[in-house]
């Protein structure tokens, strides 16, 4: 249940009420908001005079639900916004990993030249083998920050575990919580304490409900700037790396108020399918696309098979713009 408290209620009183009702509490800029488990179906008698509005839910898709907020939330990415009434589809480009200063500068210079506003590069890589390249860590974050200064793009990078979450929050503009990290409550709770945008990727074995609940950890801690990212789920099919769940995207658009970004690169796993999938995603009317691209994919230290080379990426961007326009969106 979500409860909006009267404006006359002070912070200490709101915190006291929250503690008494095992509820989360934050100030949304207008009033204190209390959130309890969705199993609570009636406003407790003692609270009736202290609230202005209440919402009852079937499940724990609460702050993220369309029943609570009817429109898609607007999320401010610093130099531009997505969601709300913006009708922006942001293209996030860049390599899977930051590998070296020369590699990341070549990539950033190319993406900035195309007019991209948001540049990606992983520094703490969540690999499935301990013997694979694990990322440059802090050195990678510093290189990304340098690229932000040199090329004026916002940067997004992922957090692998709770040991370096503060470091990532400090260096990056947008924090990516990866498919394997989205259950890590240390990460989610730390992300709730900042106001920077958090992009949460769906785990490959995660139901839509669990995915939304991961977002609820951040929202209920007081950070409203959450964006969901579908990146493929595991099915019986092995011909492609994962299966991009476009039905799930339709579900998220209908049942949640959070902007939705799609990542066809990790879903497909092979560069040959990424452009077709990206156009299909864009035609759904979405808030963003995340596409991996490397100056020389053959020598990439992670996700080599799925990264587009620069000429493929440029051709894709040209082809995406009219698709976005056809469904009333702007590719930025």
Residues that bind Mn ion (CB under 5 A): 96, 303
- Cβ at position 126, least distance to ligand PEP in Å: 6
Residue nearest to ligand PEP (CB): 178
Distance CA 305, CA 268 (A): 10
Cβ at position 180, least distance to ligand PEP in Å: 6
Residue 201 found at the interface with ligand PEP (CB under 6 A): yes
94 vs 112, 148, 216, 235, 291, CA distance in Å? 10, 13, 28, 27, 7
Shortest CB 44 distance to ligand PEP, Å? 40
Can you tell me which of 1, 116, 156, 179 binds ligand PEP, judged by CB under 6 A? 179
267 binds ligand PEP (CB under 6 A): no
Nearest distance from C-beta of residue 212 to ligand PEP, angstroms = 17
| 231 binds ligand PEP per the rule CB under 6 A | yes
Pick one of 94, 122, 197, 224: the residue that binds ligand PEP (CB under 6 A).
122
The percent of the chain in helix, strand and coil, each rounded to the nearest 5, is 40, 20, 40
- In sequence order, which ranges of the chain are alpha helices (DSSP H)? 11-20, 101-113, 138-151, 165-171, 185-193, 208-220, 246-255, 264-268, 271-282, 310-326
3 state DSSP class of 328? coil
With CB under 5 to 8 Å by kind, the binding choice for 60 among ligand PEP, Mn ion, none is none
Please list the residues that pair with 3 across neighbouring strands. 34, 54
Helix 246-255 / helix 271-282 crossing angle, nearest 10 deg? 30
User: How many residues appear in the chain?
Assistant: 332
Angle subtended by helix axes 310-326 and 271-282, to nearest 10: 20
**How many angstroms separate the CA atoms of 64 and 155, rounded?**
25
**Please, which residue, 84 or 137, has the CB nearer to Mn ion?**
137
50 is a site residue for ligand PEP (CB under 6 A):
no
**Smallest distance, Mn ion to C-beta of residue 292, A:** 6
Distance, in Å, from the CA atom of 247 to the CA atom of 244, rounded to the nearest integer, reads: 9
Mask for 137-176, x = binds ligand PEP (CB under 6 A): ---------------------x------------------
Question: Which DSSP symbol is given to 65?
Answer: B
Which one of residues 93, 94, 140, 178 is an interface residue with ligand PEP (CB under 6 A)? 178
The contact set with ligand PEP (CB under 6 A) reads 96, 122, 126, 158, 178-179, 201, 231, 266
């Amino acid at each position: 249940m979500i409860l909006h408290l009267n404006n006359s209620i002070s912070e200490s009183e709101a915190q006291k009420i929250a503690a008494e009702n095992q509820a989360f509490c934050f100030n949304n800029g207008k009033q204190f908001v209390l959130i309890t488990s969705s199993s609570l179906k009636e406003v407790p008698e003692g609270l009736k005079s202290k609230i202005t509005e209440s919402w009852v839910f079937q499940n724990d898709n609460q702050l993220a639900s369309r029943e609570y907020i009817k429109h898609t939330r607007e999320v401010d990415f610093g130099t531009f916004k997505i969601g709300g009434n913006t009708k922006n589809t942001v293209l996030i480009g860049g390599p899977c990993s930051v590998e070296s200063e020369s590699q990341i500068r070549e990539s950033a210079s190319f993406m900035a030249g195309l007019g991209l506003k948001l540049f990606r590069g992983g520094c703490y890589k969540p690999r499935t083998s301990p013997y694979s390249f694990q990322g440059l860590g802090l050195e990678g974050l510093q290189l990304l920050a340098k690229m932000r200064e040199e090329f004026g793009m916002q940067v997004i990078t992922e957090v692998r575990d709770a040991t370096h979450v503060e470091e990532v929050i400090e260096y990056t503009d947008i924090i990516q919580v990866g498919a394997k990290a989205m259950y890590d409550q240390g990460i989610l709770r730390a992300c709730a304490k900042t106001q920077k945008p958090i992009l949460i990727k769906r785990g490959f074995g995660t139901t839509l409900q669990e995915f939304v609940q991961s977002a609820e950890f951040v929202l209920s801690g007081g950070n409203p700037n959450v964006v969901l990212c579908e990146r493929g789920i595991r099915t019986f099919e092995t011909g492609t790396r994962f299966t991009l769940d476009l039905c799930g995207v339709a579900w998220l658009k209908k049942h949640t108020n959070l902007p939705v970004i799609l990542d066809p690169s990790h879903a497909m796993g092979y560069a040959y399918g990424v452009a077709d999938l990206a156009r299909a995603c864009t035609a759904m009317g979405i808030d963003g696309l995340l596409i991996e691209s490397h100056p020389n994919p053959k020598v990439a230290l992670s996700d080599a098979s799925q990264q587009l080379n620069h000429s493929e990426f440029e051709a894709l961007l040209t082809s995406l713009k009219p698709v976005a326009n056809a469904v009333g969106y702007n590719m930025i």
